[in-house]
Structure 1
Amino acid sequence: MIRIARRKWHVFSTAIVADTITMIRNYCRIAWRNLVHNKAFSAINILGLALGLACSLLMILWVQDERSMDRFHEKGDQLYQVYLRQSYDGKVDGGYLTQGPLAAELKKEIPEVLYASGLQYYPPVAFQVNDKALKMSGGYASPDFFRMFSYQVLQGTAASAIDKPGTIAISRHMAELFFGSPEAAMGKTIRYEDTTNLAVSAVYEVPATSSQQFDFIRNWDDFTRGNAWAKSWGSFSPATYIRLRDNADRYKVAAKIKDFVYHYQEKSAGSYTELDLQPYAEKYLHATFSNGIPDSGRIEYVRLFTILAVFILLIACINFMNLATARSVKRAKEVGVRKVVGAMRGSLIIQFIGEALLLAFLALLLSLLLVVVLLPAFNQLSGKQLFLPVTQPAFWGTLLALTTFTGFVAGSYPALFLSSLNPVRVLKGSLKFSAGATYFRKGLVVFQFTLSILLMIGMFVIYRQMDYVQTKNLGYDRQNLIYIPIEGDLISRYSVFKEAAGNLPGVLAISKMKESPTVIEHHKGDLSWSGKDPNQPASFADAAVGYDFVKTTRLTLLEGRDFSREFGNDSASFILNETAVKKIGYVHAVGQPFQLGKVSGTIIGVLKDFHFNSMHDAIEPLVIRLDEKPKWGNILVRTAAGKTKPVLAGLAGICKDLNPDFPFTYQFSDEEYTRLYKSEQMVGTLCNYFACLAVFISCLGLFGLAMFTAAQRTREIGVRKVLGASETNIFILLSTSFLKPVLLGMLLAFPLSWYAMGQWLQHFAYKTSLEWWVFGIAGGITVLIALLTVSFQSIQAALMNPIKSLKTE
């Protein structure tokens, strides 16, 4: 009996499997037949989904790369960056610039601190091995640097990489350039700035997922030996990093170091200076301060791109729903016949979901092809090195889940709608749709265009802000201004260079400056002036310049004069900007006393405020001092308009004669300024593309709605034409009904975009205004594109023969 039962169960189960396979085969055959018989419809549907998937995939790759930055360090959960929070004049500021001695003192005084290191970056400097001279970027750090960060040390050890003065750790790239390989570089000598011979003590490799990219690191003692200010608690410049012991509590350590600076400074009434800790892995995405706390930054772009990826994928899915619904009129009789012969609603739902999944997987294949084609351009635009992780099973699993989800979401409404049709009414040719179904479809289109108009307005606002910062008068003339790095023999032979370059046709003025007029980051806190409250701290940006600085940069002097050789005591003289004078409170500042560090002198000039940093930040108090013998910085050369090319050729010849061991390099002031807004420009450009893509996909959805409406109102159009309606009347009637969802989308998008872009503009201290015409242009363009989209269907319906329209199938 048991054997017979088993045999019957085997036959029964085999039959079920066979029937299931036959059913799936039939579903696939029907799906493929519908896809082939409706090539135009299928192509539009697949293209819309493919564009949505490709766009979302690119943004997801970018977001994943952003979130993976600095996550490779072995003890990343114990790595922190120290930041400074200061309160004075009723405001709270925060920043990563700290005092030079801070790292060493934290390690010495706080038991929970295992490792600590300062890090001072420098602009590209020259290195030479035999006849090869190249410029590399890097900086100075404490011996703990390679012990706390997990950069792979290829040669040498992390413990001894930079533990001695006179040594240098170099990257694999730098080792290969100068010595051929990391192995060949170990122990060799490399000449720094044609002044110092350094021994290569280690070769390391920095992964692409590191926010810090550097070609070399030198010992911290070498830095402080040539920069005495780095030993002072009144100067701010290096970054400070610490690694806590495994059992240390971050918040307890933060509480301990909060008032740490007052172990070395006196407290001031009405103000405070605090230290705090930020997890190092969070710094890349959260580097913008608000009320002294890092709470935003690139994370805003990560959130934006995540939302964009979801929105564009939703737009593509909605587009699919509308196109599938538009096709439902032609497939209604098929559904009716199948229901009459016994098809269950569940089987119909499975069939239509299956068709949606088939289209989704075809769209996936096309989207992968699009991503492969577009990825090089996307990498160039975003400055990334993204790639498709095709060897990772998790990637394919995620892609499969995303595509299946897309297919289910996109096919859900058409499947439920078509399977619910009444077969009797359908076969009688009286297919009608409820008001709820109609409103739902139109609501989807409204949602599509709300998102599209949001993106378009964002595109316009970002463009206007970038144009504003590029064209705004900064207070100095950045056009025809060249920066040449002070290095090698130019350090000691600057006066000879200035005299020779000044005789070149087209050269109008020459000066020098530590840092550059575009970016002044160094700050001083040890300041004093007549009437200053000793309990009131102050922090001024500090710039060291040469003679003719005001003339070369074309700054505006409101009072006083520039530094001049005619006055023998200008080494103890200062020029302040308007904001600094207001901070001090002098009515007539020229001739008044001022002290910077240990140098006491007088104010000889007042400059009209100029922007010496990004427009994200308000103009700070600035003190400018004379330093004709800097060991680094830039020579500033002002050229006549149209003479830049011959001047550069002449400057190259002079540098070759005076500084033969260093290649002639330069940069333009306007290009350096543009780099301050690299992230905003990248995001703006990507938003332009994504906004156009979103509008295009939305118009595909509107095209589907136009197809649906024209098919539904065929008989009505015939009756109207018989009663005397002209083609123009019919066109206006249909176009108006098509554009209503677009206009409603505009009404919803305008207040949302006004709020969203207003919040984005708050990140800039100096910004453009949100003009009403920006919204009007975005809305007008959207209406025009939508009208062009539906015009073909509207004209086709208006020109239809009324006799054919009134025939009932």
Structure 2
Amino acid sequence: MKTIFWNFITTLKRYKAASVLNIFGLSVAFAAFVIILMQVNYELSFDRFHRNADRIYRVEVETPMGTVPLVSYPFGPTFGSSMADVEAYCILMPPMGDMYVTVERNGSEAGFMEQALYASEGFLSVFTPELLEGTDKVLSEPDRVLLPASLARKFFGTEVGVVGKRISLTRSRETQDYQVGAVYRDFPENSQIRNVVYVSKSQREWQQENWSQFNNYMYVVLRPGADISAILAEWNRFDLKTKVGWTDGNTKLGLTPLTDIYFDTRPLEADMFTVHGRRTTTHLLLAVALLVIGIAAVNFVNFATSLTPLRIKTINTQKVFGAPVALLRTSLVAEAVGIALLAYGAALLWIFLLGDTPFGELIDGGIAFTNHGTLLLGGLGVALAVGLLAGLYPAYYTTKFPPALVLKKGSFGMSPTGKRLRTLLIGFQFVVSIGLIVGALFLQLQNNYLRHVDTGIDRTRIAYTVLRGDLVGSDAFEAEVKRSPLIEDVAYSQLPIGVGNVHPMWSRPIQGREVNFSVDGVSWNFPRMMGLELTEGSLFSPNDSMKQGNTYLFNERAQRKYDIGVQNNIVEWGEGDDAVVSQVCGIVRDFNFQSLHSSIEPYAMVVFGRAFGGGNRSLPVAYFQITGDPYAALEHIRRAAASVDPAYPVDVRFLDEAFDDLYRKELRITSLITLFSLLAVCISLVGVFGLILFETQYRRKEIGVRKVMGATVGEILLLFNRSFVRLVLLCFVIAAPLAWYAVTRWLETFAYRTPVYWWVFAVALFIVLLITFVTVTTQSWRAATANPVESLKTE
């Protein structure tokens, strides 16, 4: 062991340049590998931390409107309590937007905007959070809230000692007082079950909901070994369609494992509160991580095999003096492992230093060591494996020659076997580099496409906010806002348009058939402000809210699917003279009322008539068409809100900024992929650099002979570049179709995608050729311009 250690130290000292280059390249690769896996682990472990994660399922309903992940409250006691295989169930009712939370703190009232959910008493049995204080009966008691530790600290300045404190929740015009009943340790970030305010609801309040109010998520914990198909068969014997009141279409229940929800790409209706990721993007990240470490390992092997001819004489001299082959091979493998471990130690240092920089914020969950102990141990195992694999072949190859070679003169650097291996390894790096550059370019093109695609909505110079309290439907607020010449117009809707997937589904009879569509209540001037293009009929008028029934404006998708026409009547309820009848006033060109993750579906805007309350009293989202200084306009809106209702601060945002936020995570993840792809390319080019460095050393005598025979510097540079250019072109022929296939499959996962441009492949080829040419030329220049007499004396 002592001999192996000193051989390792001697190697580091003797081959300083190669060792430093090896350790630096490997350390960067290991750091990138570990950081990427931190993000991949975050994605793949979504919702897997719950004690019963493998037995928790979400209940879904296949309805005439499509599959929805929502149920009405009666589903809980009917299906959750009726079978022995259901161990526990809970109902979660998400609100449509944030609530305004007020608490007493340090003798004064403090206010916060937070999300709050109504939760049934089974919540703690299904998701089993760790309670820091309070009772597990908190959600079965009236007027109680369950807080995560982070919100307890935010509201009261402490995580414990808050049970019994008052907390008030306000949404729109309704305010209700509660008491803190318990505090739980926060769930990890990668969870569908978020760290929000969980509010108890009395059985009487729950039971007031009827079968047709699909407002809630329902989760069940099944007993170990439960037969899911048998459970669903039993549930679907229930006459659900009659209970709900549907007259046609298929209706049955389904179960989706909690751990599958994050990557679920099904087009579910009214999927309001679910967090989704893209499995293809996660797989891309994992592929980049493996390619980074693979390229680094190839570089390592290339360096080791390139050093072999320099070390054969030393190795054979040791064999002449009696050193066992096994000991020599063990020593060489140990050197490789030692370099890999040194590189991994340096990688941990890079990660630690990056932790306090903005780069650390690119990774969900952060890159702190305390959060990733198991992953770091796994990285150590990978470093050991890379060291072993990179050391085995050079150890075998270096020691296989007979000791008599120590007496021979000449270079062993250009042996056919060594050249073939190095060419194969560098070819692999070129293929990967071309593929990664193509992938990185298409990632950026797709990001740019999503940000600039025409959604059919004019988002320029439009700001919006969600109103609360006395601001909702306030004529005084609108009048105060319009006093400024900076505000051209004000419009309203029930939900933010084009910046989310939260839209309720309605089913209405039109021309004798049931029509299902997403819907949003709006003010009469909303379509004009958004720049929606009318294709048939007319837009809304100011008098529509004075009619008895509603007035509908459908999109082209609804018209094509259901043959909806202008002036079609819609019976909302009742019969004969008592019927409340609404009317279709027009058709607008299709636009993206949801995020670009979803394709355009049947959709209608509706101005509510007198039977539905009329006016803007139920439209909490206000839009402002701005002219002039936009930031001065935002400040004016805030002042106007404060003058009418100072209790509730408004968060005014530009619509285009909110649109960008929809894709912020994807932009961040694809930026990570691009960054590490380019890093992998750089690491592979370090390998090219090292290979040229050694090859020029081995061919110095050949270069000297050529110069003596009259070869010019240009001819020698061409000699070196020609073989590498041919290799790059061959690798491009291999890489291009592979990259095209991968990019095409990835783009197919988007509803809206950039074209597959041919020039991207040409750019990737040009980049690799240019960098290779510059690298080869700069490294071979020194050998080409050296004194040929000195070159001929080297061997």
* TM-score, normalization by structure 1: 0.88
1:368 corresponds, among 343, 348, 373, to 348
Q: Which secondary structure state, in structure 1, belongs to the residue aligned with residue 58 of structure 2?
A: strand
Q: Does 1:499 align with 2:475?
A: no
User: Equivalents in 2 of 1:80, 1:470: separation in Å?
Assistant: 35
Secondary structure at the aligned position of 2:381 is classed as helix
- Partners of 2:145 and 2:198 within 8 A in 1: yes
The partner residue of 2:177 within 198, 202, 218 is 198
- Tell me what 1:51 maps to: 28
* 2:585 paired with 1:604: yes
Q: Structure 1 CA distance, aligned partners of 2:45 and 2:329?
A: 41
Q: Does 1:636 align with 2:609?
A: no
The 5 A counterparts of 1:97-496 are 97-99=70-72, 101-113=74-86, 114-129=88-103, 130-159=108-137, 161-164=138-141, 166-193=143-170, 195-200=174-179, 201-211=181-191, 212-220=193-201, 231=210, 233=212, 236-246=214-224, 248-258=226-236, 261-262=240-241, 264-265=243-244, 272-284=250-262, 286-289=263-266, 297-376=277-356, 377-389=358-370, 397-425=377-405, 427-432=407-412, 433-492=414-473, 494-496=474-476
Q: Report the equivalent of 1:9.
A: none
**Cα distance between partner residues in 2 of 1:562 and 1:329:** 82
Letter in 1 for 2:29: G
Query: In the TM superposition, what whole-angstrom CA distance separates every residue of 1:738-792 from its partner, at most 9, and x where no partner exists?
Result: 3333333322221111111111111111111110101111221122122222222
**Distance between the aligned counterparts of 2:320 and 2:779, measured in 1?**
33
**Pair 154,626 (structure 1): closer, same or farther in 2 beyond 3 Å:** farther
Gaps of 5+ in 2: 575-579, 609-614
Report the Cα distance in structure 2 between the residues aligned to 1:390 and 1:528, rounded to whole angstroms: 54
Report deviation, 1:580: 0.9
Q: Give per-residue Cα distances to partners, 1:313-371, cap 9 Å, x unaligned.
A: 11111101112222223223212322333333322211211211221121122111011
The equivalent residue for 2:504 is: 523
Q: How does 1:688-703 map to 2 (within 5 A)?
A: 688-703=674-689
Query: Kindly tell me: are residues 353 and 520 of structure 1, through their superposed partners in 2, closer, same or farther at Cα, counting changes over 3 Å?
Result: closer
- C-alpha contact 1:52 1:313 (8 A) present in aligned 2: yes
The alignment status of 1:575 with 2:553, answered yes or no, reads: yes
SS in 1 for 2:266: strand
Q: CA deviation at 1:434?
A: 4.5
Query: Match for 2:536: what amino acid?
Result: E
The CA distance in 2 between the partners of 1:122 and 1:96, in whole Å, is 16
Amino acid in the other structure paired with 1:415 = A
CA contact (8 A) 2:90 2:119 kept: no
How many aligned positions are there? 767
**Residue 805 (str. 1) matches residue 791 (str. 2):** yes
Runs (5+) with no aligned partner, structure 1: 1-23
Q: Percent identity?
A: 28
Q: Is the 8 A contact 2:8 2:335 kept in 1?
A: yes
Distance verdict in 2 for CA 1:491–1:473, change over 3 Å? same
Structure 1 residues 458 and 479: alpha-carbon distance in aligned structure 2, compared to 1, 3 A threshold: same
SS at match of 1:176: helix
Look up the equivalent residue of 1:607 and give its one-letter code.
V
Q: Distance in 2 between matches of 1:197 and 1:456?
A: 56
> Quick check: 1:122–1:138 contact (8 Å CA) kept in 2?
no
Paired residue type of 1:136: E
The question of whether the paired residues in 1 share the 8 Å contact of 2:147 and 2:182 is answered with: yes
Shift of 1:576: 0.6
Q: 1:791 corresponds to which residue? A: 777
Rounded to whole Å, the distance in 2 between the matches of 1:481 and 1:181 is: 40
Question: In terms of mean alpha carbon deviation, does 736-745 or 438-447 score higher?
Answer: 736-745
| Cα offset, 1:67, TM superposition | 3.4
Equivalent position SS for 1:764: coil
Q: Partner amino acid for 1:730?
A: I
Describe how 1:729-740 pairs up with structure 2 within 5 A: 729-740=715-726
Q: What is the rounded CA distance, in whole Å, between the counterparts of 1:108 and 1:715 in structure 2?
A: 87
Matched, 1:562 2:549: no
SS in 1 for 2:382: helix
Q: Which residue of 1 aligns with 2:611?
A: none
Is the Cα–Cα contact under 8 Å of residues 313 and 405 in structure 2 kept in the other structure?
no
- 2:92–2:117: 8 Å Cα contact kept in structure 1? no
- Is structure 2 residue 569 aligned with structure 1 residue 590? no
Tell me the amino acid that sits aligned with residue 176 of structure 2: N
Alignment of 1:55-66 (within 5 A): 55-66=32-43
Alignment partner, residue 696 of structure 2: 710
Q: Secondary structure at the match of 1:539?
A: strand
**Superposition RMSD on alpha carbons, in Å?**
3.0
Q: CA deviation at 1:46?
A: 0.5
Contact 1:702 1:738 survives alignment (8 Å): no
Distance 1:569 1:778 in 2: 62
Helix, strand or coil: the match of 1:199?
strand
The residue matched to 2:387 in structure 1 has which SS? Answer: helix
Alpha-carbon distance in 2 for matches of 1:179, 1:237: 31
Q: What is the rounded CA distance, in whole Å, between the counterparts of 2:60 and 2:776 in structure 1? A: 57
- Quick one: distance in 1 between partners of 2:590 and 2:647? 39
Shifted more, 254-263 versus 307-316: the winner is 254-263
> What amino acid maps onto 1:673 in structure 2?
F
Q: What is the CA distance between 1:805 and its match in structure 2?
A: 2.5
In 2, the alpha carbon distance for the partners of 1:470 and 1:344 equals: 65
1:764 aligns with 2:750: yes
Residue 316 of structure 2 contacts residue 399 of structure 2 at CA under 8 Å; is this kept in 1?
Answer: no
Equivalent AA in structure 2 for residue 106 of structure 1: F
Q: Distance in 1 between matches of 2:623 and 2:204?
A: 25
Label 1:308 to 1:483 Cα distance change in 2 as closer, same or farther (>3 A): same
